[in-house]
Amino acid sequence: MGKKSKRYRSALAKQPKELQPLPKAVETLKTYDATKFDQTVEVHMRLGVDPNQADQIIRGSLVLPHGIGKTQRVVVFAKGDQAKAAEAAGADEVGQDDLAKKIKDGYTDFDVCIAAPDMMGLVGPLGRVLGPRGLMPSPRAGTVTADVGKVVGEYKAGKVEFRNDKGGNVHAMVGKMSFESQKLEENITAFVNYIAGMKPQSVKGTYIKGVAICATMTPSVRVAT
């Protein structure tokens, strides 16, 4: 592991060893020395799921109460009225064959890809490019939808996608360090409660094994749940 910066070592000295109630955890996070940029705040949850079981995959999306402090770039595969609705909702790019060719040629400068159901025949072959980057539209994530205008609006307002990793962990951005503490707390609470409500029936034992928050360049703070 590389040498830690003086700022990071200073933050480590403030890192609590015990679990913290959420308000105290957010307060601690904000005491870490500031950087020259507005760091992203993330929540990380360790879940008692088996990622190899299809019925225990935790995947979806959620509109956070106060957004994420970032304008997401959204591209949409749609035609006709749905294309017009996507444009009206603020999509950065809307297209069909032209957009598919652009992506095949290496264009991935966006955060979210949304598709109308009748466009999946066109989008399917793009999985080789979009899949590894987590950008492939999916009904389960809500990015394959007949109401593209509504979904574009949600992502522009601060919707986050999530999917458990191979270790059964779920991660999401929940705001910026510049957010008021209460707004961060409300975003984190909304996310944790949403994941809690997705507990698969086949999971035995403890479902939420741990919750921690951190920022882009800080140590984590473990949260009592």
Q: How does pLDDT run across 207-218, given as a tens digit for each residue?
A: 999 999 999 989
* First-last CA distance in the chain: 31
Kindly state the tokens that stand for 99.
Answer: 């957009």
Question: 58 and 104 share a domain?
Answer: no
Question: 31 and 101 share a domain?
Answer: no
The answer to whether residue 93 is domain-embedded is: yes
The answer to whether residue 205 scores a pLDDT higher than 70 is: yes
Question: Under 8 Å CB-to-CB from 9, ≥6 apart: which residues?
Answer: none
Question: 15 and 49 share a domain?
Answer: yes
The answer to whether residue 106 is domain-embedded is: yes
157, 177, 198 - which closes a domain:
157
Question: 80 and 152 share a domain?
Answer: yes
Question: 84 and 150 share a domain?
Answer: yes
The number of C-alpha atoms within 13 Å of 198 and in the hemisphere containing its C-beta is 23
Question: 36 and 87 share a domain?
Answer: no
Collapsing DSSP to helix, strand or coil, 219 comes out as coil
Per-residue confidence (pLDDT) for residue 1, from 0 to 100 = 47
Question: Average pLDDT over the chain, rounded to whole?
Answer: 92
The answer to whether residue 166 scores a pLDDT higher than 80 is: yes
What angle, 0 to 180 degrees and rounded to 10, lies between the N-to-C axes of helices 181-196 and 22-31?
A: 130
Range of the domain at 212: 6-67+159-223
How does pLDDT run across 84-107, given as a tens digit for each residue? Answer: 999 999 999 999 999 999 999 999
Task: Give the span between the Cα atoms of 24 and 30, in whole angstroms.
Answer: 10
Count of Cβ atoms closer than 10 Å to residue 185 Cβ: 21
Task: Give the span between the Cα atoms of 43 and 110, in whole angstroms.
Answer: 22
Count of Cβ atoms closer than 10 Å to residue 199 Cβ: 15
Q: Nearest 5°: phi and psi at 137?
A: -60, 140
Indicate the DSSP class of residue 133. Answer: G
Question: 88 and 147 share a domain?
Answer: yes
Kindly state the tokens that stand for 104.
Answer: 């095949």
The answer to whether residue 1 is domain-embedded is: no
Q: Are 207 and 198 in contact, with CB atoms under 8 Å apart?
A: no
| Residue 79 CA: distances (Å) to CA of 69, 82, 85, 139, 141 | 30, 6, 10, 18, 21
Question: 164 and 119 share a domain?
Answer: no
Question: 18 and 58 share a domain?
Answer: yes
- Report the CATH number that the domain containing residue 195 is assigned in CATH: 3.30.190.20
Total of domains in the chain: 2
How does pLDDT run across 52-85, given as a tens digit for each residue? Answer: 999 999 998 899 999 999 889 999 999 999 999 9
What type of residue sits at position 212?
A
Between CA 49 and CA 56, with CA 52 as vertex, the angle to 5 degrees is 40
Per-residue confidence (pLDDT) for residue 61, from 0 to 100 = 87
